[in-house]
Amino acid sequence: MLSKGEYEICQRSLAIVNGKIGSGVLINEIIMSRDDASNMISCMKDTANERTFSSSSRLRRRTLQNYVLLWLHNGIELSNKEYQNNLSHFQSVADDINIFTQSNDCIDFINKVKNVKVFLIVDNKIGQQIISIIHDSPQLDTIYIFSNNACQEEQWIKLWFKINNVYNEIECLCKVLRLAMKECNKNSISMSFISIDKEISTLNLNQLDPTFMYTQLLKEVLLDMKPTKESLKDFVAFARRQYISNPKKLDMINDFERTYSSQMSITWYTGESIVYEILNRALRLMEADLIVDMGFLIHDIHYELCKLYKEQLDNDFKTPFTVYRGQGLSKMDFDKLIKNQGGLLSFNNFLSTSRDLSVSTFFAESSAGKPNTVGILFKLFIDPSAPTIPFASVRDGSFFKTEDEILFSMHSIFRIGKIEKNDDAISVYNVELTLTSDDDKQLRILTEQIRDEVREETPWGRLGKLMIRIGQLDKAEMLYNSLVDHACCEGEKALYRVNLAVLKAKQNDPQKAIDYCKQGIEVLEKTLSSDDLILSVCYNSAGAVYYSLGNYKEALSFYEKSLEITQEHPPSDGRMLAISYNSIGVVHHQMKNYPKALESFQMSLLIREKILPLNHPDLGASYMHIGVVYKDMKECQKALPLYHKALEIMEKTLHPNDLNLATCYNNIGGIYDEIEEYPKSLEFYKKGLEMFEKRLPSNHPSLAVLYLNISKIYKSMIQYSEAIEFCKKGLEILEQTNPLNYLRLSIAYNRMASLYMDIKEYSKALCFYEKERDTLELNPPQNSYDLITCYNCIGYVYSIKENYEKALLFYQEEQRIIEKIYPEDYRLLARVFNNIGGMYKHMKNYSDALFFLEKSLTIKKQILPMDYLSISLSYNNIAMLYDSMRNYVTASLYLEQALSIIEGLSSSNYCHIEQIKNNIELVNQHASQ
C-alpha cells in the first residue's frame, strides 16, 4: 500500500445554508460549519379526566393549566370503594388527574413535562423508594404523602423540603391542594422585567421585555376587532373538546355559553371558571392561537374596565390610593426584581389586586413556604390623575366580593421602588410599585415601526402578519385560508396566496409553496400595473419561497424584479429598497459570489441605519448577514463582532421564542468553530438547538442543520460516538423531508462517511460515499464539482481496501469530469493524475504509472510552482515507483530532490521529512541486497 503521503485526496468542504424566510422582511441564514478537506490524508383507562399510565401508553392532551396533579399509588382496583372515593375528591380539585401505578412511568412523566408545576400525591412506601430520584426535578413543585400508616414524625420525611406534609384524611388534603393550585395560578402571572447591566446607560434601564411588545400589539389587533357570536362559539367548541371527559367542566362550559355577555365578562374572569387559567397561561406562554380564540373575552373585559373606569374616576378615585397583591416569585425572578430596582415592571395580562392588606399578606406568606420561592407583598401606589391604562373596582361584578378587588387592564406598567423584608412575616418581602405612564423611548419607536410593518386595511390582515412575525404559522395558515374564501376580488385572493406560499415554505411543504406562489403571481401580474409597489413586495416573497427550496436562479430573478420596481418608484421610507438589496445579497451568498453578496448587504445596511431605530431586528439581521459573508471569506476577526452586535439587538427586541434568535446562535457557533474554539461553538449550537427543538416539528430541516453542526464539533473534539449520534439524527431528517435539496442531503452523507473514515470503519464509510454519489448524480450539472470530490473519496476508500481496480475506475471517472468541465483547474488535474499513477503502481503497470505521475509533476512545476509541499510529494511518489522497478539510482535522485525541497519549508512538515528519510533508507536497503 502507498504511504499516506503518496495520496492526494479531497473531502467536500461546503456550507449548508438554510434560508429563514420572513414575510418579505427578514431573511436569515443558518450556516453549517465546514470540514477541512486537507486534513483527510490517509395500559390506559379514561374515566372522567383520569389518566392511568402504563409503560406502553400515553394520553396526550393540550395542557391548559399552570399545574398538573399526579397520583402514584400501588395499583388498587378501580372497583375499590376507597379508591373511587379518593378519585372523586381529587376530581373536584383538579381538571386532570394523572394516575400512575408504576413508579418508572411517573418519574418519566415528571422529567418530560414542560411549562407546568407538578403536584405529586404518593403513599408512604412508594414515596421513600422514589424521593431521591425525583426530588430535584425543577418541574416538581410539592409532594404530598397520603397514607393511613404514616406520620409526619418519620425521619425520612424531614430530609426532603419539597414534602409538604403527611395526610391521613382526603378532605384535609384536598383543601390544601385547592389553596396550592390557587397560589400557583396567582404566581404564574406574566411579567416583564428590564434587563440591567452596570455598563449600559441609564436610558436602557427602561427597556421592556420583548414579550410585552408582542402581546401589546396582539392586544391592539384584538381590541380593533368587533366580537361576534361565532367567536364565542369557537371558544366553547374548543373548551368542550378539551374537557370532553369531565362532566363538571362541561356543565361549567354549558353555563358559560348560556349566560355569557360582555357585561358578565369580568365576573367570569374573576370567578372559579376555566377562562382565568386558560387565558393567563396563554398570555404567559404566548400561545397566540388560544389568545385569538379568547380575543372576544380580552376585548369585552378591557371595554368593561374602560366603562367602569370612567364611571368611578370622579367618585371612587379622587385621590391617590394603595392596593396590594400577594404572591410568590421564583428566586430567579426575585433576583431580577432586585437588580432592576428603580426600573420598570410590566404585567402582561389583567392584573388583580386588592384593597384588603390581610388577604394579600396571606397569599404572600403561604407562597413563602414553597421551595425556591420568595413571598412578595406588592404595595401598588396609584395616582388617578396620571394618564394610564384603565382600572376599576370590580367588587360588585367579581366572583369574590369580599376581596375588594381592583382589576387593571392588560399591560399595566409600574416603577419599582423600595424593596425590603417584611418585619411581620418570615421570607416575605415588601415591594413598592408606582403606576406610571412612562415607557422607553427606544422601545416605543421600535413598537411603532413593527406596528407599521403589520399595518393592513383590516384587523384580520394585521393579525395574519403578526402571527407570521411571532412564528404562529399553523394559526396564520388557517386565517389566510379563511381570508381567501371570503376575499372580495381575485386580486385580494392572490395577495393572500402569496402569503400562504411563504408560510408553506416555512413549513417545509415545497410543492404547495410553489403552487400558491404561481397562482398568486399570475393573477397579480394581470391585475396590477408592472410598476406597482405591491407587485414588488410579492416578487420579493416569491423570491424567498424559491430560495428556501434551493432554486437560487429563480429566486434571484424575482428579487431583481422586486429591486427594479422599487428603484423606479422608491417608497418614502426606503424600507422596501433595503429588503430588496438584502434578499439579493442572500442569494449571491448562497451561490458563493461573496463580493456581490457583501456589496448588497452593505447597501441594505446603509439604508436601514438611516431609517430604523438602533435596536430594530432588521438591523440585527443585516449585521449577521455581513458577518456570515466575512466568515466565508475567512475574515473571522471581522465577522465575530458583527455576530455579537446582531445577537445583542435580537435578544433585546425579538420574542424569546423567535427562531431568528436560534439562527443567530447557530451562526455564532459556526464562527467559533472556524477559529477552533470548540467548547464555545458547542455552547452556541446547543442554545440554538434547544430553541429549534421546542418550536419546530421533529423532522424540520433546520433541526438537521443544527444536528450536523454539532456533529462536526464533536468530530473536531475527537468525540466520535457523539459525532456519529448527532450526524445520524440530522441525516434521518434530511432523508425524510428534503428530496428537492440534493446538495444538503449529499453533504450529510459526506459528513457521515468522513466520520467512519476517522474511526477506520471503511466499509461503512464507502456505503455513505456511494449514497452521496447517487444523490449528486440526480442533478449532475449543478453538482459536478461535488461529484469530483465524491469520486475522489470513493477511490481513496477502495485503495485502502486494496481494491485497486475499483479505485482506478473512480479516479478515471473523476478525471473525465475534470477534463470536461474544469479543463483549466490544474490543481485538480495534478491531483487526479497522481492518484491514477498510484493505482497503476499497485497493479504493477509501471509504464502507465510513470506516465501519470510524471504528468502530475510536470503540471505542478509549470503551473503551480509555489506549491512546494505537493511537488516534494510527487518526487517522493515517482521515487518509490522507480524503487518498485528496481531502478534504485533514479529512485535515490528523486528522493534527494524531494528532501531538499521539503527541508526548506516550515518545521510543521516534520512528518513528511521523516517519511522521505525512511524511504531513502528503504531504497538503500533494496539497492544493497
Q: What is the percent of the chain where pLDDT is above 70?
A: 84
**DSSP readout, 397-408?**
TSS-GGG-EEEE
Q: What is the pLDDT of residue 125?
A: 82
Closest CA to 811 of 785, 837, 781: 837
What residue spans define the domains of the chain?
67-187, 318-439
- Per residue in 819-836, pLDDT (tens digit) is 998 888 899 999 999 999
Closest CA to 580 of 567, 593, 568, 589: 567
Q: What is 318-439's CATH superfamily?
A: Toxin ADP-ribosyltransferase; Chain A, domain 1 (3.90.176.10)
Which residue did the predictor score with more confidence, 188 or 434? 434
- DSSP 8-state symbol, 4: G
Return the sign of the alpha-carbon dihedral for residues 884, 889, 890, 891: positive
Q: Over 80: is that where the pLDDT of 894 sits?
A: yes
Q: Over 70: is that where the pLDDT of 891 sits?
A: yes
β-strand 17-21 against 27-31: which pairing, if any?
Answer: antiparallel
- How far is the C-alpha of 338 from the C-alpha of 416, rounded, in Å? 9
Of the listed ranges 534-548, 780-794, 845-859, 897-911, the least confidently predicted one is 897-911
CATH topology match: 67-187 vs 318-439: no
- Cα dist. 357→9, 181, 398, 591, 615 in Å? 78, 21, 18, 66, 41
- Per residue in 217-236, pLDDT (tens digit) is 777 877 887 777 788 888 99
- Per residue in 65-107, pLDDT (tens digit) is 788 899 988 765 445 777 888 888 887 788 778 888 888 899 9
Q: What is the pLDDT of residue 585?
A: 95
Q: CB of 866 within 8 A of CB of 906?
A: no
β-strand 373-382 against 344-347: which pairing, if any?
Answer: unpaired
Q: What is 67-187's CATH superfamily?
A: Response regulator (3.40.50.2300)
Instruction: Count other C-beta atoms under 10 Å from residue 546's C-beta.
Output: 25
- Per residue in 597-646, pLDDT (tens digit) is 999 999 999 999 998 888 888 899 999 999 999 999 989 999 999 999 99
Q: Please state, rounded to an integer, the average pLDDT across all residues of the chain.
A: 82
Of the listed ranges 347-351, 677-681, 851-855, the least confidently predicted one is 347-351
Q: CB of 5 within 8 A of CB of 41?
A: yes
Q: What is the pLDDT of residue 84?
A: 80
**DSSP readout, 915-926?**
HHHHHHHHHHHH
Q: Over 60: is that where the pLDDT of 197 sits?
A: no
Amino acid identity of residue 539, one-letter, is Y
Average pLDDT for 527-543: 84
**φ, ψ of residue 370 in degrees (nearest 5):** -85, 150
Stated as kind and residue range, the H or E segment containing 585 is: helix 575-590
Average pLDDT for 849-878: 90
Stated as kind and residue range, the H or E segment containing 420 is: strand 412-421
- How far is the C-alpha of 273 from the C-alpha of 65, rounded, in Å? 12
* Residue found by looking up cell 396590477 in the block: 528
Q: Over 60: is that where the pLDDT of 6 sits?
A: no
